Amino acid sequence: MRIGEFAERAGVSPRALRYYEKQGLLAARREANGYREYQESDLRLVVEIRTLLAAGFTLADTRPFVDCLRAGHDSGAACPESVTVARRRLAAIDAEIRTLLERRAEISGQLARTCGGCTPHAADRPEPGPAPRPLPRAVLLPAPIPAAPGRAEGGARR
């Protein structure tokens, strides 16, 4: 299918598709007239990319997931390289959470010191927003892939 129809079905702009192609994440075939031609299987790649981006991954982070799907796996998260990227992203999120908790404690302490010993009350906390939306199934990771006997987690021999 041509880029306009494909973009509409994928829920992205033609510009985004051209960018994904430029980054090597999509490989559109070309018709004799030079028009891009996408296959039905390319839709799954774009859905994977968009799902990962929505979950906070960078475009570069999506590459192992896309490569995993291209290799014929049912899930982009089924390959060790994808698991490595996901673990790295989780570590970054954990670091961000720690930083936010430290900032909160600092501001809470400042409030307690400057407000004559008052402490933050529940009313001082922001109103909770809507419950976070569950991540689409494409980014739910399988159980960690066990290392083969005699190999470290990254696949290198011990």
DSSP 120-144: --GGGSPPP-SPPPPPPGGGPPPSP
Q: Does residue 141 contact residue 77 with C-beta atoms inside 8 Å?
A: yes
In the 8-state DSSP scheme, what is residue 12? S
**Per-residue CA distances from 84 to 78, 114, 125, 147 (Å):** 11, 45, 36, 13
Tell me the pLDDT tens digit for each residue of 85-105. Answer: 999 999 999 999 999 999 999
Whether the model pTM is above 0.85: no
- How many contiguous H segments (helices) and E segments (strands) does the chain have? 5, 2
In the three-class reduction of DSSP (H, G, I as helix; E, B as strand; rest coil), residue 151 is classed as strand
- 136 pLDDT higher than 60: no
The separation between the first and the last C-alpha atoms of the chain, rounded to the nearest angstrom, is 49
CB atoms within 10 A of CB 27: 13
Tell me the pLDDT tens digit for each residue of 45-66. Answer: 999 999 999 999 999 999 999 9
27-41, 52-66, 136-150: which has the highest mean pLDDT? Answer: 52-66
